[in-house]
Amino acid sequence: MSKYLLNKFLFTIDRDPDLVERYREDPAGTVAWWEAEKANEILNAHTGERSTWLEFTPQERAALSTHDHVALFELGAHPFLTLTLWIAMFERDATEPLAMQREYAAKLAHFSLPYPDIAT
Amino acid sequence: MAKLVAILATTHHPFFYRTSQLPPEEAPPFAAEWVRKVLAYRETLTRARPDLLVMVGSDHFHQLWLDNMPQFLIGKAPYYDANWYNEEREFGLPKLRMRGHEELSAYMLREGLDKGFDLAFSNELRIDHSITCPIFTVRPQNDLPIVPVYTNIFAPPLPRPERFVALGKALREIIDAWPSDLRVAVIGTGHLSLELGGPRQFGPHGPDPEFDARAVEWIANGDIDGCLANVTLESLHAPGNATHGFMDFMLMMGIAGYNKADYADNLDLFHTMEAYFTWYPNGVDA
């Protein structure tokens, strides 16, 4: 399990407006491309240096590929990263202010304390 | 020696800026009272006539990332760009540029290291809404140099609450001893109970109004011991999954010491409670 890599995906998609749109429209294709091309980029290093070992588990890949924020919560993805990216992708579809955020919460209603561990 | 003229500890609510810009016919029903309280709070800083601001906040996965995560970091740069694309996108926060104060940054880093805090530093730091929100609320003219202090309340493993209080006490000693004629204010922002990305988010109040009521009492009364006796790294999960931001309030309590706040106010909003505290460590008219 790689909570770090889940977070890295959410973090790098969220900060790029083009990737936010691409992930909204084509989640499975974006995840496949990202895992092949971007997962091993070291973000704070000079370009050209890469890691060699980062990959999603099947569960993680499926959760990201289907926009399944409930599964991401269960897997311990950082909830701030997931929420921020989901607002960027889906708030625009809501019919009234905060409706998207409330629906997002309602789908998590079956979780009780302690929540899944987010430590990486 | 420098004069510490004001200590402000407050929540940071990224929706305030946009809400305050709305024409009355478009503003939500709570907007007028919110703006009124913020304007009153702003006056508590203005009357202290500071020359520079030490600003305590926490990066929200903008520049600080899990491949290289500091627990406590002080910026040391002549300028700080501020606010990020996703904050413009989600909150409507404009980009800013703030001046730095490298002399005080260097002094705080040196003295902090010598007091046992292995502080990280950054010479190129783009700061985020944890620091710009209080600029919009209490110093919107953005005319004073700043020293940013970042804490990790976000990416576990986190320092414990005692460490935040201890750092606050150390920062107080450092600022009080800084050989300068300048008037320093410290502004720190954190959270009361808060849930983000979990089942209790965006409710009609903060997720734990009872915690909020106790927290406001601890802060307003300078009750550091009562707060520490009731708050642990583990217990902070219960009031809401983002409540570890309360540790930034605890850092500010460390700076203010065992003293009642000279100004205390709060506002129960949807999603979270707003709270505003000011201390004048050398008297209101220092």
Among the ranges given (A5-14, A45-54, B74-83, B163-172), the one the predictor scored with the smallest mean pLDDT: A45-54
- Is residue B228 domain-resident? yes
Q: Chain A within 8 Å of B156 (Cβ-Cβ)?
A: yes
Mean pLDDT within B48-56: 98
Tokens of B42: 């702003």
- pLDDT at residue A46, rounded to an integer: 82
In B, minimum Cα distance to A10 occurs at B61
Residue A6 near residue A56 (C-beta atoms within 8 A): yes
Is it the case that residue A47 has pLDDT exceeding 90? no
Min Cα–Cα distance to chain B from A56, Å: 17
- pLDDT at residue B22, rounded to an integer: 95
Q: Which residues of A are less than 8 Å from B89 in CB distance?
A: 17, 88
What's the distance, Cα to Cα, between the start and end of chain A in Å? 10
Mean pLDDT within A26-42: 97
Mean pLDDT within B227-243: 98
H/E run at residue B11 = strand B3-11
- Is residue A111 domain-resident? no
- pLDDT at residue A1, rounded to an integer: 58
CA A104 to the chain's CA centroid = 14
pLDDT tens-digit series, residues A76-112: 999 999 999 999 999 999 999 899 999 999 999 999 9
Q: Chain A within 8 Å of B69 (Cβ-Cβ)?
A: no
What confidence category does residue B74 fall into, taking pLDDT thresholds of 50, 70 and 90? Answer: very high
Q: Chain A within 8 Å of B270 (Cβ-Cβ)?
A: yes
Q: Which residues of A are less than 8 Å from B90 in CB distance?
A: 84, 87-88
Q: Which residues of A are less than 8 Å from B200 in CB distance?
A: 105
List the 165-204 stretch of B: residues with Cβ below 8 A of A.
196-203
- pLDDT at residue B69, rounded to an integer: 97
SS3 state of residue B81: strand
Min Cα–Cα distance to chain B from A24, Å: 16
- Is residue A119 domain-resident? no
Q: Chain A within 8 Å of B65 (Cβ-Cβ)?
A: yes
Nearest to B198 among A15, A43, A108 (CB): A108
Nearest to B86 among A42, A43, A84 (CB): A84
Of A70, A18, A81, the C-alpha closest to B199 is: A70
- pLDDT at residue B271, rounded to an integer: 87
- CATH number, domain of B72, equals 3.40.830.10
A-interface mutation test, from B93, B196, B269, B270, most A Cβ less than 10 A away = B196
What are the percentages of helix, strand and coil residues in chain A, rounded to 5? 60, 0, 40
- pLDDT at residue B253, rounded to an integer: 98
pLDDT tens-digit series, residues B263-272: 999 999 988 9
Cβ neighbours of B25 (radius 10 Å)? 5
CB-facing half-sphere around the CA of B264: CA atoms within 13 A: 13
Q: Chain B within 8 Å of A70 (Cβ-Cβ)?
A: no
What confidence category does residue A49 fall into, taking pLDDT thresholds of 50, 70 and 90? Answer: confident
Q: Which residues of B are less than 8 Å from A116 in CB distance?
A: none
Determine the structural domain holding residue A74 and report its residue range.
Answer: 3-106
- pLDDT at residue B111, rounded to an integer: 98
Is it the case that residue B150 has pLDDT exceeding 70? yes
Total of domains in chain A: 1
CB pairs under 8 A between A and B: 77
B-interface mutation test, from A91, A108, A117, most B Cβ less than 10 A away = A108
In B, minimum Cα distance to A13 occurs at B86
Q: Chain A within 8 Å of B39 (Cβ-Cβ)?
A: no
CB contact under 8 A, A101 and B201: yes
Q: Chain A within 8 Å of B61 (Cβ-Cβ)?
A: yes
- Is residue A117 domain-resident? no
Mean pLDDT within B143-162: 98
Of B48, B92, B64, B187, the C-alpha closest to B131 is: B187
* ipTM score of complex: 0.95
- Is residue A50 domain-resident? yes
User: Residues of B46-76 as b/e, b for ≥16 C-beta within 10 angstroms?
Assistant: eebebbbbbbbbbbbbbbbbbeebbbbbbbb
Determine the structural domain holding residue B258 and report its residue range.
Answer: 3-279
What confidence category does residue A44 fall into, taking pLDDT thresholds of 50, 70 and 90? Answer: confident
Tokens of B57: 């906040």
Mean pLDDT within B198-221: 96
Total of domains in chain B: 1
CA B208 to the chain's CA centroid = 20
Q: Chain B within 8 Å of A115 (Cβ-Cβ)?
A: yes
In B, minimum Cα distance to A111 occurs at B199
A-interface mutation test, from B18, B67, B233, B271, most A Cβ less than 10 A away = B67
A-interface mutation test, from B58, B89, B129, most A Cβ less than 10 A away = B89
- Is residue A64 domain-resident? yes
Q: Chain B within 8 Å of A114 (Cβ-Cβ)?
A: yes
In A, minimum Cα distance to B64 occurs at A44
